[in-house]
Amino acid sequence: MKILAIIGSGRKKGNTSTIASMLLKRINELAIAEDEQIQVEKLFLVDYELKHCLGCRACMDRGEDKCPLKDDLTKIKAKIDEADAVIFGSPVYIDNVSSMMKALIDRLAYICHRQEFYKKFALVYSTSGGSANKHTNRTMAGALLSWGFNLIGTAGFIIKHHNSGLEIEEKYSKNLDRLAKKIYVSVFDELYLKPSILALAMFRLQQKERADPKKAHPLDYKYWKEKGWKKQEANYYIEHQSSKIKILLSIILYKTISMIFVDS
Ligand SMILES: Cc1cc2nc3c(=O)[nH]c(=O)nc-3n(C[C@H](O)[C@H](O)[C@H](O)COP(=O)(O)O)c2cc1C
């Protein structure tokens, strides 16, 4: 089992990094207590060359290997591929994610056409000096959900710019315990087999776009067809253990979202 924390702050000893360390330490302790093997890793985006998306759509229309930008994206993507759960942490910069985190999200945008991460979990958090973290978390959560990730949760940490780990522990210790436990349990109990109502609804939203030959780009259509997700009876990326009532609720949610956001 592997848990990766991707940190979108240039301050390697800053708040976002400290929170990631605290989460990973707790996850490690849970594994030790249960005599389980786990690997944890921190990845600082600042250590990688990540160019801005040029918007050419080569990745979306012709395949991700056709991206004209040559940099470290594939190295970062390989780290995500290896992980069972990924923690995405960003500082709030003017009410949104840092430019490093946004660059990563934009460069991986093709995945919302051809979902790969449906067996992985994600936790999203942001740290800020004072303002609400909701908008920042929504930027990350929205992308990750559309990539197929099972979103464990979102969290906001309001912390002074210069802060000792001690103060963070004092203020957020219980919340960090709860989040670490949630990640641990999700991974070890393979809870991707029990997707949330939102995840099931997200699948249907994608299916509407990607599995229709009149609407979908040929590359996406081919991918969805090969995966078997195009079939009318397919209601998620994998065989899952959701109850009938959960599936029904996801259909209601899907129809509501379609009506409010997509069809308007
Ligand atoms: C460029 C910049 C923009 C910021 N914008 C906001 C903001 O809009 N709202 C807020 O509450 N804090 C803002 N902050 C404060 C940071 O979000 C906060 O200090 C964060 O915890 C820093 O994380 P780090 O220590 O991991 O770099 C900003 C900081 C910087 C450097």
pLDDT in tens, 47-58: 999 999 999 999
Judge residue 55's burial from the number of C-beta atoms within 10 Å of its C-beta, 0-12 exposed, 13-18 middle, 19 or more buried: exposed
For the chain, list the domains and their CATH numbers: 2-193 (3.40.50.360), 197-262 (no CATH)
The reported pLDDT for the residue numbered 163 is 76
160 lines ligand 1 (CB under 6 A): no
- Look at residue 144 and give its three-state secondary structure: helix
Contact 126, 97 (CB under 8 A): yes
Say what percent of the chain tops pLDDT 70. Answer: 99
Spacing, Cα 93 to ligand 1 middle (Å): 5
* Per-residue pLDDT at 106: 98
From residue 250, give the alpha-carbon distance in Å to each of 42, 121, 140, 201, 227: 34, 19, 22, 5, 21
What's the rounded mean pLDDT across residues 75-98?
98
Cβ 154 under 6 angstroms from ligand 1 = no
Q: In this structure, which residue's CA is closest to atom 28 in ligand 1?
A: 93
User: What's the whole-model pTM score?
Assistant: 0.94
Average pLDDT, the chain: 95
Residues in the chain: 264
> By the 8 A CB rule, do 49 and 71 touch?
yes
Higher pLDDT, 232 or 19: 19
Q: What is the pLDDT of residue 6?
A: 98
Ligand 1 atom showing the smallest separation from residue 7 Cα: 26
pLDDT level of residue 263 (50, 70, 90 thresholds): low
- Residue closest to 4 by CA, chosen among 196, 262, 183, 140: 183
Is the backbone of residue 239 left (phi > 0), alpha (psi -120 to 50) or beta?
A: beta
89 lines ligand 1 (CB under 6 A): no
Q: What is the mean pLDDT of residues 216-231?
A: 94
- Residue 262's pLDDT is 61
Residues 6+ apart with CB under 8 A from 54: 68, 69
Q: Is 116 a residue whose pLDDT tops 60?
A: yes
* Residue 121 φ then ψ, to 5°: -110, 150
